[in-house]
Amino acid sequence: MSKQAIAAFLREMRDRHAEQIDAIDLPEGTFEYVSERIAEGDAETLTFMLKLGYLMGLQTGYAAGMAGEGRPDGSGGTGPLQA
């Protein structure tokens, strides 16, 4: 996947799920921590964080499916989003 395709995907997801994303409160200090990682060029940690979030989303979706809850529609205030 090209950098342009990734950027386009992220723009689409930001537009589609802005309200849900904006409602998420991350732990205090998260923005500062990520900013420091960027400033230090720590792509390894940032990539790990992305992979961890992706893995957690997969696990949540799998657990919901196994519980018979079906696919989330992304309309709720909390929970996984559909890409």
Coil, strand, or helix at residue 10? helix
Per-residue pLDDT, averaged over 45-67, amounts to 91
Give the whole-angstrom CA distance, residue 35 versus residue 50.
15
CB contact set of 20 (below 8 Å; sequence gap of 6+): 74, 76, 77, 81
The confidence score (pLDDT) of residue 82 equals 46
Residue 74 pLDDT exceeds 80 = no
**Nearest residue to 74 (alpha-carbon basis) of 16, 12, 10:** 16
Helix (H, G, I), strand (E, B) or coil at 26: coil
pTM over 0.85: no
